[in-house]
Amino acid sequence: MKFPRIKFTKDSLATLLLLLPALVLVGFFVYFAISWNVVVSVSNWKDYSLVVDYSFGGFRQYEKLFADPIFLTSLKNNLILIAIFVPGTLLVGLFLALLLDQKIRKEGVFRTIYLLPFTLSFVVTAFLWRWMFNLDNGVLNYFLGFFNLTSDWIINPDIALYCVVIPLIWQFSGYTMLIILAGIKSIPVSHIMAAEVDGASGFYLYRRVIIPQLKTSIATAFVILIIFALKAFDFIWILTTGGPGTATYILPLYMFRSSFMDTKFAYGSAIATILLLLVMMIVVPYLYKTYRGKEK
């Protein structure tokens, strides 16, 4: 549809004015701040100093990173976290979604309960689970005590990282369930009926007809869970502060410690830049695939 020329210009100006606040704020707080952070990471800003120095100091922070055992441990822990947390949460979430899809009574009540953990702050999750993990009086050891199976959970450096995953699965399963449930509801009934006419039923129907059609929602959940596992901070910071030793250190935690506890701002910024690159490796293909060619 064509509009008179004058009208069109007036509208473009209005369009720009309406977009301006968001563009300025996002441009400044996201893109400018990210660039600023990169500048700090290659600056001469001295360790243990609060005096800002933006003069170019080369890439020595990045060189230091890959010789730093704590950085390498954090990177490794991040990858282990992804490898356990993401499939674990997807499986539980898928299971919950299939259960709730059985035309049960009180579906809304169960959905509200399963999603409840996801609405809690990570600070709260950490507090509740520190208590759950408590050696003498925690719920986990209380129940395992009946079988003489108590554990030292997050105090034990060998298993601490795996223990951290349990509350995270607890918190994110309901959310994954919701995404998958939305996917199930969007499958056209005709597809399912056609399969039933062909004699498919029960588990076969799920395995061959329903689950394959959930590819998009499972992919979405997959991406969101990986990104979360890369940038998780609050929860682990309060639950273990990265300990015992560096057993549960991950990149965001080490960045925070380097910048704000050790006062090594250039070094912390370099860790943050690496973290950003890792996240973008997932986000950019995802956004490209989701929004490409949708220009109206």
Partner 1 sequence: MKLHFNRILLYIILIFLAFVTLLPLWTGILTAFKSEQDLILTTPVEFPLSPTLDPLIETFGLMARPIMNSLVFTITATILSCLLGSITGYVLALHAFKGSNTIFVLIIVGIFIPYQAVLVPLVLIMSRLDLYNSLGGLILTHTAYGIPICTLLFRSFYAEIPKSLIMAAKVDGAGIWTIYWRIVLRLSVLPFIVTAVFQFTNIWNDFLFGLVISRGVESMPASVELANLQGGFVALWNLQMAGTVWYTLPSLVVYLVLGKYLIRGFMTGAVKG
54 touches partner 1 (CB under 8 A): no
* ∠ Cα 157 162 165 (to 5°): 135
Q: Which of 86, 138, 222, 242 binds partner 1 (CB under 8 A)?
A: 138
Return the closest-CA partner of residue 153 out of 131, 125, 133.
Answer: 133
Q: Which of 72, 83, 91, 104 binds partner 1 (CB under 8 A)?
A: 104
129 touches partner 1 (CB under 8 A): yes
Number of residues in contact with partner 1 under rule CB under 8 A: 105
62 touches partner 1 (CB under 8 A): no
Site string for partner 1, 63-92 (x = CB under 8 A): ------------------------------
- Could you tell me if 78 and 90 are in contact, meaning their C-beta atoms sit under 8 angstroms apart? no
Return the closest-CA partner of residue 195 out of 211, 209, 184.
Answer: 209
48 touches partner 1 (CB under 8 A): no
Q: Which of 58, 194, 201, 285 binds partner 1 (CB under 8 A)?
A: 201
Subset of 225-264 contacting partner 1 (CB under 8 A): 227-228, 230-231, 233-234, 237-238, 251-252, 255-256, 259-260
Q: What does the block give as tokens for 107?
A: 């579906």
* ∠ Cα 29 255 235 (to 5°): 90
Site string for partner 1, 4-43 (x = CB under 8 A): ------xxx-xx--xx-xxx-xx-xxxxxxx-xx--x---
Q: What does the block give as tokens for 51?
A: 């005096």
DSSP 244: S
* Angle at which helices 160-185 and 215-231 cross, to 10°: 150
Q: Least distance in Å: CB of 208 to partner 1?
A: 12
Region from 67-75, 83-91, 110-118, 146-154 binding partner 1, contact rule CB under 8 A: 110-118
Neighbouring C-alpha atoms within 13 Å toward the C-beta of 149: 6
